[in-house]
Structure 1
Amino acid sequence: MLEAGIEVRLHTCAESLERVGDNGLAVVAREANRHSYKLTTRYVFNCTYSGLNQLGGDFLGTRARLKHEITEMALLEAPPELENLGVTVMDGPFYSMMPFPSRQLHTLSHVRYTPHLHWDDERGVDPYTQLAAYPRDTRVDRMVRDVARYKPAVLKANYVDSLFEVKTILAKNEIDDGRPIFFEKHPALHGCYSVLGGKIDNIYDVLEKLDAESLVTSSNQSLPFAKHSS
């Protein structure tokens, strides 16, 4: 990061966004156990995932509706028959069991049982506070029973732990489980963009979108509101 000239601030919360002059922006941030301060800039990229609409001040939220889910990924010690295998069954209420090298385990997720709780995005309702308060009772037994219909050897797996996280999607993708790249230019805050990407390679879509915006803006043409890539 230092070689690229990027300053990283850890344990810092961006609380609000304010308009400064004609084209400036100020992010009001607060470090842990310290007073808040302002960072002024020309551009702000709001890539806070589940916290996209938790900024206050002049930021009035995204136009697109968001939905949050508390999800569970079970961690299993796979039996010898499945140690070196990763399997995902597509297009239906099925499962995915994949190697998790960092802990020498396998993750197990299921379309039906991985989502525990869901709610529509709302200003002032912090998804991460919701996650912290969730009791985190595992559903691994139901996952394993369903997977055993296709891979009986999974019954010999040992359950170790579960990873719980907030997953955020566009409300309109609830019916198709799509993972689009959402790129929205704030209509009233010049230089402010909100980005929601469900795949790591979405960063390339964002770069293409920014390049397109630069070209379109310089020619005073209109720009599509958002680009989606499933």
Structure 2
Amino acid sequence: MTENNTETARKKYEYSFDYIQSKLEGSKDSFGKLMKEIVRTGVCTECGTCAAVCPVLEWDHLVGQPKLVGKCTGCGICYNQCPRTITDPNELMGEFKTGYVANTNIPEVIGGQDGGTVTSLLCYLFDEHLIDAAIVTMTDPNHPWFPVPQIITTKDEAIKASGSVYCHSQTVEALMDAIREDYRSIAFVGTPCNISAVNKMYNSPAGMLKYFMRAN
């Protein structure tokens, strides 16, 4: 094997499911590892991804952390998909080449949070039939301080959901629900920790999300 072939094989391995599993080797209790290194150290962002991807985990809204409701098999998915762990050497999203300042021209959204840009993008995606659904956060009408992740499917719903909610929202769980409901092209609106978690899932060698999407 030539030097170039060896390097190619090494890089391929470092972005494989086997590599990730080797990083977790000996960790029969993946949930315990997650609790020890992330939750109890205060690194957890309360995004809820661990509970969204594991069938034996639930999110404890009262305590603000994952709760084991079955036997941990040590698969490592909860640990690997957490946006605060590093198991993939190539997980960076890439360089940002430029930045923009934008404002909406949709009358109902003018004056909205940060210019209403995200809402405008969602409206465009729905108008052009580029997405089947979007994951957003809305507020409970009876408890305005309580965030409610929602699956929306229309432009009108996107306008209704405009504005920020300054509280933890389990949007990744809503994304998994949308996938189970057979939506294939999904826009996702979330905080940086939510976006980081979804990016890890999308690029995972285990194929957590990529095979569900209509286009890259």
Same fold (TM over 0.5): no
TM-score (norm 1): 0.18
More strand by percentage: 1
Structure showing greater radius of gyration is 1
